[in-house]
With several copies, the nearest count.
Chain A
Amino acid sequence: MIEPNITPELIADHGITPEEFERIKGILGREPNFTELGIFSVMWSEHCSYKNSKPVLRTFPTKGPQILVGAGEENAGVTDIGDGWAISFKIESHNHPSAVEPFQGAATGVGGILRDIFTMGARPILCMNSLRFGPIDGNDEAARRNKRLFAGVVGGIAHYGNCVGVPTVGGEVYFDESYEGNPLLNAMCLGLLRHEQIARGAAKGVGNPVFYVGPATGRDGLAGAAFASRELTEESHEDRPAVQVGDPFMEKLVLEAVLELLQTDAVVGIQDMGAAGLTCSTCETASRAGTGIEIDLAKVPQREPGMTPYEIMLSESQERMLVIVQKGREAEVQRILDKWDLPWAEIGFVTDTGLMRVKNHGQVVAEIPAAKLANDAPVYYRESKEPSYFAKTRAWKLSDLPSLTDPQKVLPELLASPTVASKNWVYRQYDHMVQTRTVVCPGSDAAVVRLKLAPPPAKDRYLAITTDCNGAYCYLDPYTGGAIAVAEAARNIVCSGGRPLAVTDNLNFGNPMKPEIFFQVREAARGITAGCNTFGTPVTGGNVSFYNESPAGAIDPTPVIGMVGLIDDIAHITTQWFKNHGDAIILAGNAVDAADPYLGLGGSEYAKRLHHIKAGLPPHLDLATEKKLQDAVLALIRDGKIKSAHDCSEGGLAVALAECCISRHPARNTPALIGARVDLSAFANGTRLDALLFGEAQSRIVLSVAQESADAVVAQLQAAGVPAAVIGAVGGDALEIRTGASACKWSVNELYDAWWYSITRKMES
């Protein structure tokens, strides 16, 4: 086999800078060969090394009494939920593969995050996903392409998750021009385990055999990590070998076998072969244990003849695991793998050399200090500079926005905006009930699952889970946008009856080498940190996805927050829809935020959708105010006073009220619609009508309570320092909103039709 010479061009092709190459030579004490160059290039890619984001990630709060395994220690963090039980959860992107091949890209994204969780020893009990696409309105070339991507991604998530048998219980989807050509797929998974079941990805015990488990290695997905660390260009569609095909059936077998293996103590360490495949799993396990590892590639099952060491080490074929077995216990491990009909091979052993030594038919083809490879990638403090577009977006004044005269048409239009509209076209394709844990199915503020720790009728435990991020807010002000993502997630948890516990994050940005992009990264992270500190939710892990740019430019900064909350009692579980005729409707929080120069309209769905304006500043957020609101509402829920709670987000108060009326959906084609009469006249004086109805002021929750407890609830909120007022009553078959002299009335049927079928109509036209 003839390997190419190491030329400056080859080095550059591998995304390695001349300084990095010097550093590699320093580590090896010589020039790397071709295989070693490939190994360094994937391990030192942004995707694996976080070289451009580490300094930022270090600023996140990651500690807390609930943290059992912290961020970055292992494949995923582990968080205590009491009584010896724990959860492990994480979010991960698969943006570039999804741009090139949406179905398989999304499917393998789900596969990868599932493996991160079950290698921790946890049984995956739910998935979520956060998606971004270009607009799907109309039928021009671009819209058709966006629809194809959207349909493909959703189909791929469904295909994989449904087959493995993990329910997809929620998520979010936004549509915006900035994601045109660079859609986002962030998949989150959460697993359940006992404290004593936490598994480690460490190659401990010199002499212990190293097993390869799963299907044979092919040329698919060659160097996907490097692919994820580049901008998408016109030529990206030629990056085809980087696309992998997933086999969820195999994943299910691997999952069951791994959990069964971990029940024995015959396994000392385990890691999935995700990004950078065999390379990453071998050097990281050795590095964590402070050992070395030696493997022979001739023993690695291969799908195609003639694969080179370079290809085998860099392949990202799916559904493979590396398992380090206690010496002498091989037979036990083999019995379990055979039971599940899984292919496996013993490919090497743990050494005390600190080296990752790779042989091929006995001949050494790569030899690199494992810890240096895994941990000594350069770390860059990138330059940051305030984006020049701020000058333009901030020059825009609220007075430039024409005033609203006829809200009657606007509300249905906003409800039909794909970002606001019901996502049933998406979630009905996902099995969201398998495992019979889902207590609140998709369609409310957060998903709620029971953990089935105790057989009925004994007391069980419940989790609330949500993902949130508004990219337009982050574009206009990354700090506030980042903080709002956390605040909104926490608000969704609280509205569902939970107390926020911990978060995972997925930082989706453009090219961090550009100072204006890095500014966004740094500021958004600062906002996330502020938010997490406020709500006491440490970051347990996450993922960074840079280079999300298409020829038209970078995506809006999109730091997605996945948050988990604990619900202490079944009675606290709360949903967003109105329940009974006659109940009082209470707005907790200010109708209009006087501290906001844009009155909640900057970056709002209203400004974007109806006026095609993405300018100004995002809604103002005061974290202390937000915390007060959430604490007060949670206390009321715990007191059993609240019948429904819904946070105000995209589309503002009018959309939130409409959703309370139309979002309860007991069965196919059978919504349970309920009207409401609302009077906002008290707030209408001297304020803009558009801000009152559609402004996206933060720190607001729409509650409904029994009429007789309305006064007490308002008093309790006010006593806690939260502005509150009764704004109407539930009932009838129309939503009526009075604002001073004028009033609007919409039949709930009309609103429901606009909201529920909007995405279906667009996808089927």
Chain B
Amino acid sequence: MKAKIYVTPKKAVLDPQGKAVANALHSLGYAAVGDVHIGKYMEIELKTTDPAAARKQLEEMCHRILSNPVIEDYRFELES
């Protein structure tokens, strides 16, 4: 199975990177660009066939090491 994980800065937390990119896009003339948020995208192979167990493990991995729950949110999708 394959998991796709998205880690994004929490709403209330400063996202200086997103801001810098938004400014850069504006100055390049992309006036339609509004807010930009930048996070991480991860793909993880999982050698298991049990989606429920995989989900449980993923939830745990995201919380423990793949994201920093103090400043980031995460979500994931599981594909088989």
Contacts and interface: CB of A to CB of B under 8 A. Distances in A.
Q: So, do A and B actually touch in the complex, CB under 8 Å?
A: yes
Interface of A: 100-101, 103-104, 215, 218-220, 237, 240-241, 243-245, 247, 249-250, 303-304, 317-318
Contact of A247 (B16, B68, B71): B16
B14 A245 contact: yes
A317 B15 CA distance: 12
A218 B16 CA distance: 13
Interface in B60-80: 68, 70-71
B33 interface: no
B66 to A, nearest CB: 14
B16 A250 contact: yes
B13 interface: yes
16 contacts: A101-B68, A104-B71, A215-B14, A218-B12, A218-B13, A220-B14, A243-B70, A244-B14, A245-B13, A245-B14, A247-B14, A247-B16, A249-B20, A250-B16, A304-B12, A318-B14
Contacts of B68: 101, 103
Interface of B: 9, 11-16, 20, 68, 70-71
A249 B14 contact: no
A317 B14 contact: yes
A243 B71 contact: yes
A235 to B, nearest CB: 14
B11, B16, B20, most chain A CB atoms within 10 A: B16
Contacts of A215: 14
Contacts of A220: 12-14
Contacts of A250: 16
B12 to A, nearest CB: 5
B20 A303 contact: no
A218 B71 contact: no
Q: For the complex, would chain A's binding face be called helix, strand, loop or mixed by DSSP majority?
A: loop
A250 B15 CA distance: 12
Contacts of B13: 218, 220, 245
A538 B51 CA distance: 66
Contacts of A240: 70
A484 B11 CA distance: 48
B62 to A, nearest CB: 16
Contacts of B71: 101, 104, 243, 245
Nearest to B20: A249
Nearest to A248: B16
Nearest to B11: A304
The 6 closest A-B pairs by CB, nearest first: A247-B16, A245-B14, A101-B70, A219-B12, A245-B13, A240-B70
A249 B15 CA distance: 12
Contacts of A317: 14
Contacts of B14: 215, 218, 220, 244-245, 247, 303, 317-318
A103 B68 CA distance: 10
A249 B16 contact: yes
A742 to B, nearest CB: 43
B23 to A, nearest CB: 8
Given A104-B70, A245-B15, A304-B12, 17 more contacts: A101-B68, A101-B70, A101-B71, A215-B14, A218-B14, A219-B12, A220-B14, A237-B70, A240-B70, A243-B70, A243-B71, A244-B14, A245-B13, A247-B14, A303-B14, A304-B11, A318-B14
A103 B13 CA distance: 14
Nearest to A216: B14
B16 A241 contact: no
A442 B41 CA distance: 37
Contacts of B12: 218-220, 241, 304
A316 to B, nearest CB: 11
Contacts of A318: 14
Nearest to A103: B68
Contacts of A303: 14
Contacts of A100: 70
B9, B13, B68, most chain A CB atoms within 10 A: B13
Nearest to B28: A144
